[in-house]
Amino acid sequence: MANWTYSKAFVLLYFAVMWPSPNVYGLTKQEAAQLQSLMLEVKAKIDQTKVQVARTRDHSLSQRFVFTPPHATAYACGESGTLQLSCVEGKTLLILDANYGRTSTDHACPCSTCRADCRAVNSLSVVRSACQGKRQCAVRAAYSIFGEDPCWGVQKYLEASYHCITESNVAFGKPATASSHPSHWGPEKAVDGFRGTAVSWYNQCLHTNQVYQPWWKVDLGAGDPYTVNRVSVLNRGDCCGDRLRNFQVRVGPNENFAQNDQCGETYTARPANGATIVVYCDQPMSGRYVSIQVMGRSENLQICEVEVFAETAADGISPEGPKMWRDDGRCGQHYPAENGQPAECDPYGVIPCCSTAAWCGNTVHHCNCHGCIDYRNTLSG
């Protein structure tokens, strides 16, 4: 928009200096040239300020978002393929990215009609809904699953990147506050571990007074901040479920939650009575405070249970003993581990299988082919 504004100004200047009358619009050619020079100087300063603001914002976000170490990637080809993701016992899936379409012309899934800019817009939300927080899941690589064909005639694939993590609800029993509330519908009702959904008679939920943009907030506690992946919100079940529409979740270090960054998208749908809404953070977010706020109107905020899911243990912990796998992802008899023996793949990590090409991975070409070794099958117990 800024470039368009500048262009329009320069067009007006051009007509001003080229018009037969030397004083049209009250400008001489010399005055127009001086004005043009000043505008270019102002534009340069504005552009410089934009760069500084962007750098400041990026630095601020880097303090709040937790960018995770190298992740696992899995894929399924064509309309007949099924994406299968799994973690070892005790860990759950954290979906970082997903795409149904095609973003590479030299992918392992071949194509005769190729493009590298094909994406189904709801790819990530579909895969997260099917897989996030589960130990294993399966999603079919078909346009009917994603509601549309993002690039007709192009051979597509479904690809996802993920981590296997140890995750739990870290909000249970933590101190909570709200914008307002009657004494028997207090903010602690949303973190008491009870999933009843009746406000009337049973007093099982938070219910604020009707105020502009009502809010609720939980303090996860001092010390090392939690790494939050998703927030689950249980709606009131006995009445008026649509009151929860258009709410935001924020996560961050600030007690004044308006200063914290938003987790995921604003939920704009009209939730049903008793529905559970899960908001996924775009990236894992570090923070002490988690808030929920209805936006843009006066309303009663009513929520019956909030679960904040965060990583609570280090990923990739293996049993005591020598390390049997390599950091470069190679495996097999031609690639020795630190102890001199043929390298294996980490059965507790995200790439637990050795392919016939001597690479650790987690696709069917690593785990379910003739000659492949799935080291998860070697675990005792």
pLDDT in tens, 248-289: 999 999 999 999 999 999 999 999 999 999 999 988 899 999
> Is the pLDDT reported for residue 368 higher than 70?
yes
pLDDT, residue 320, reads 41
Q: What is the C-alpha to C-alpha distance for residues 374 and 352, in angstroms, rounded to an integer?
A: 6
C-alpha dihedral sign at 27, 33, 34, 38: positive
273 against 339, higher pLDDT: 273
pLDDT, residue 58, reads 41
Q: How many CA atoms lie within 13 A of 359 on its CB side?
A: 8
Cα dihedral value 217, 221, 227, 231, nearest 10: -30
DSSP assignment of 219-252 equals: E--SSSPEEEEEEEEEEPSSS-GGGG-SEEEEEE
pLDDT in tens, 38-83: 777 776 667 666 555 544 444 444 444 444 455 788 999 988 899 9
Q: Is 180 helix (H, G, I), strand (E, B) or coil?
A: coil
